[in-house]
Structure 1
Amino acid sequence: MLNSSESNDFKSLVLNKTPLIDVRAPIEFKKGSFPYSVNLPLITDEERHLIGIKYKNFGNEEAVMLGHKFVSGEVKEKRIKAWLDFKKDNPNAMLYCFRGGQRSKIVQEWISEYIPEIIRLKGGYKAFRNYLMNEIDNSPKYFNPLILGGHTGSGKTILLKKIENSIDFEGLVNHRGSSFGKKITGQPSQIDFENSLAYELIQKVNKGFMNLLFEDEGKYIGSINIPKNLAEYLSQGSMLVLETSFEERISITFDEYILNAQKDYKKEFEEDYFVFWINDMQTAMKRIEKRLGSMRYKVLNELFIEALNFQNKKGSLEKYKNWIAYLLKEYYDPMYEYQLEKNKKKILLKGSSSVILDYLQTLKLP
């Protein structure tokens, strides 16, 4: 049974976290896709390239004929099976191509020979992407921004995860937002970040939150930048400053930079993990040499090497706490104090995690 059902109810896609079948070629998917989407392409990258040449030289009809030649017989059966299997596991799944044109229509027709209906996105990827970007630009109309500040290691991310009306930029960009913030798995594309951010904003706003809490960040987090309009709006937000003891900050940073990082590297690189981790840490230290100054950089390096040797000899990570204490005191703290002094944001409150949580409970929530 053939159908051509389309939907442009993009808001419901976001709120329902609707699974999506992206039938674009893998190269297109990698440049940017949507949360809850899976790439089950109609044509491969190479096929797309050859069809494009055919289209340029001989027009649409010849290009379509070549596409049908590529996707026929067992190849066609295999691709249809992949779409049907996903639809079986995700009954409310929809599909899309770039503009909601030929590719998604062909897939829709082929699938409809086996099941009653699958809906495709009207306007495809381009229309949905435009909707999400507009929602980011318009989101400042719907909430009051609160900005969570605090020294490195104070546990801002830990606190954010306890609060429903928060948006964790660092989680979305897969980066800790510092010189040592790089993670093994790498960052998403700028487009993927923006799409995920739009989902978060739409979902939070729909819940009726009058206030949204964000960690205090620069314009860039690693290689990802916060959309301009939103960044400017957040720069006007009032601050809550999280205060944590120096000892606790050492412990939190130790868990993040050393303990958990080494575990992650071990999962990824197995027996070679230590070499890769050391190399990345020394590269990160080199990045801050100029700001730190040659003498303090030398001390920091020596403390790190001392900790490495102690780990190799005793199997203990304890010495890294000396390295972290020096890094916090000599690098992060002076930089934070300078930034706080320059900061024009109004400070509403300074206090511990429990003090800030209590304050947030007093704000009007839905």
Structure 2
Amino acid sequence: MNNPNINSDELTALFTADTPLIDVRAPVEFIQGSLPGSVNLPILNDEERALVGATYKQQGSKAAVMLGYKMISGRVKQDRLQQWLDFIRQHPRAVLYCFRGGKRSQITQQWLKDAGIDRPLIIGGYKQARQFLINTIDRFSENHRLLVITGPTGSGKTRLIQQISNNHPALDIEALARHRGSAFGGMPTPQPTQIDFENQLAVSLLKLKQSYLSDPIVVEDESRHTGKVYLPTSFFEHIRSSKIIWVDEPLATRVDNIFEDYILATPIGQALQARRNTQPLSSATEIQAMLCQRAQLLFDKYANALQAISKKLGGVRFQEISQDLENARSSFVNRNEIQSNKIWIEKLVKYYYDPLYLGSLQRRQVNPCFKGSRQAVINYLQTRKNRAIQSE
């Protein structure tokens, strides 16, 4: 079976099809950034790569290649070949790549061919594909429209994005970044590297553009940074220059939304559920004790996040909200009560997030094309879509 190698013109199809990829670079290269859909099955490990690189610098290409063949021979070669074969049996569409589509992926391809398996590689390797993904973001920012969802903290902007995603082109940036975008917004899973975040963003844009062609894509009004990752300049500037839709919800609704996301849907809420109809914490089961320990760690995390914004919050407000947080912790531990968390959440919204967010919108002189509740915004988007369909 002949499998021609993948050139740059075929990368869109490769990524939108979620093609499984075998990255044969060393682990140290992979963890810095990889292509979406990749698994790292290296032909050279970190130590072997370092030795081959040193030999290349000192003695040239021929000596480096000979050393590589010498190290990766016999049982070592068979073990690595078997890993590739096992993966390809589970993922028959798998494609190979190394850094530049050079020796490492070519040798891998040949060894697989000798074993009766013919799989393509990406011409130009990771470097070529990475440039393609960067260019994808830039081209999208120049040529495709956005509708930007804004509104104060707790308005349910992310929920709205998720709610409409089955019927509208929508991009959840916080999901890609694995962070909610605030000092309190870290998620259990670590954030991606900056490179991986950009690569995933590019592939998401490719898929949306393929599915919705010229329809505007709905995104949340994010700041440049979401946790430790940041939006590429072209895309961030595109967000800032796009049409704005304002989600307007009352404070009580916003506090309830935050309470649900940061208390009920976390180990705090899970621990409370596990402890219902049981004896006090001292006699809880092992699972209950584990959940309560995780809940305590989350309270600690929130206390640390509060400390991180203490200067911006101001000394008096910081002390007040810190005490409210500790009171909520005590109520959870001693009385199985979590509603008191709404006290510190409401004050944090009123005294910190609202002035910060609304001040930013005023400086930007935001003029929304629509303003209303979350449900009103959903209705507006559907009406807008229906009109676009009728005009076609």
Secondary structure of 1:161 counterpart: helix
The one of 281, 298, 301 aligned to 2:322: 301
- Among the aligned pairs, what percent are the same residue? 37
Residue 205 (str. 1) matches residue 209 (str. 2): yes
The one of 248, 264, 267 aligned to 2:253: 248
The one of 175, 178, 203 aligned to 1:174: 178
Counterpart residue type for residue 138 of structure 1: R
Q: Which residue of 2 aligns with 1:232?
A: 237
Q: Which residue of 2 aligns with 1:42?
A: 43
Post-superposition CA distance 1:73-118 (Å, at most 9, x none): 2221111111111111111110000000000000000111223410
The alpha carbon displacement at 1:204 in A equals 0.9
Q: From the superposition, tell whether residues 158 and 246 of structure 1 become closer, same or farther in structure 2 (CA, over 3 Å).
A: same
Alignment of 1:1-366 (within 5 A): 5-8=4-7, 9-164=10-165, 165-207=169-211, 208-262=213-267, 272-361=293-382, 362-363=384-385, 364=388
Counterpart residue type for residue 233 of structure 2: K
Secondary structure of 2:163 counterpart: coil
Q: From the superposition, tell whether residues 286 and 198 of structure 1 become closer, same or farther in structure 2 (CA, over 3 Å).
A: same
Partners of 2:105 and 2:292 in 1: CA distance = 45
Counterpart residue type for residue 102 of structure 1: K
CA contact (8 A) 1:310 1:319 kept: yes
Aligned residues: 364
Q: Which residue of 1 aligns with 2:274?
A: none
The alpha carbon displacement at 1:245 in A equals 2.7
CA contact (8 A) 2:158 2:172 kept: yes
Q: From the superposition, tell whether residues 312 and 116 of structure 1 become closer, same or farther in structure 2 (CA, over 3 Å).
A: closer
Post-superposition CA distance 1:218-245 (Å, at most 9, x none): 1111111111111112111111111223
Counterpart residue type for residue 205 of structure 2: L
Partners of 1:106 and 1:66 in 2: CA distance = 14
Partners of 1:185 and 1:166 in 2: CA distance = 22
333-342 vs 10-19, which moves further: 333-342
The alpha carbon displacement at 1:263 in A equals 5.9
The alpha carbon displacement at 1:272 in A equals 4.1
Partners of 2:220 and 2:116 in 1: CA distance = 47
Secondary structure of 1:347 counterpart: coil
CA contact (8 A) 1:253 1:324 kept: yes
CA contact (8 A) 2:263 2:269 kept: no
Post-superposition CA distance 1:149-179 (Å, at most 9, x none): 1111111111101223111111111110111
Partners of 1:263 and 1:69 in 2: CA distance = 55
22-31 vs 249-258, which moves further: 249-258
48-57 vs 98-107, which moves further: 48-57
Query: Please, which runs of 5 or more residues in structure 2 have no aligned partner?
Result: 272-286
The alpha carbon displacement at 1:345 in A equals 3.4
The alpha carbon displacement at 1:265 in A equals 10
Counterpart residue type for residue 99 of structure 1: R
The alpha carbon displacement at 1:257 in A equals 1.7
Q: Which residue of 1 aligns with 2:279?
A: none
Counterpart residue type for residue 74 of structure 2: G
Counterpart residue type for residue 5 of structure 1: P
Counterpart residue type for residue 224 of structure 2: K
CA contact (8 A) 1:145 1:214 kept: yes
CA contact (8 A) 1:265 1:273 kept: no
Partners of 2:341 and 2:268 in 1: CA distance = 15
The alpha carbon displacement at 1:186 in A equals 2.0
CA contact (8 A) 1:147 1:214 kept: yes
CA contact (8 A) 1:144 1:210 kept: yes
Partners of 2:130 and 2:380 in 1: CA distance = 37
Partners of 1:181 and 1:34 in 2: CA distance = 26
CA contact (8 A) 1:4 1:108 kept: no
The alpha carbon displacement at 1:69 in A equals 2.0
Query: Please, which runs of 5 or more residues in structure 1 have no aligned partner?
Result: none
CA contact (8 A) 1:237 1:346 kept: no
Partners of 2:130 and 2:352 in 1: CA distance = 40
Partners of 2:158 and 2:96 in 1: CA distance = 35
CA RMSD of aligned residues (A): 2.0
98-107 vs 47-56, which moves further: 47-56
238-247 vs 188-197, which moves further: 238-247
Counterpart residue type for residue 110 of structure 1: W
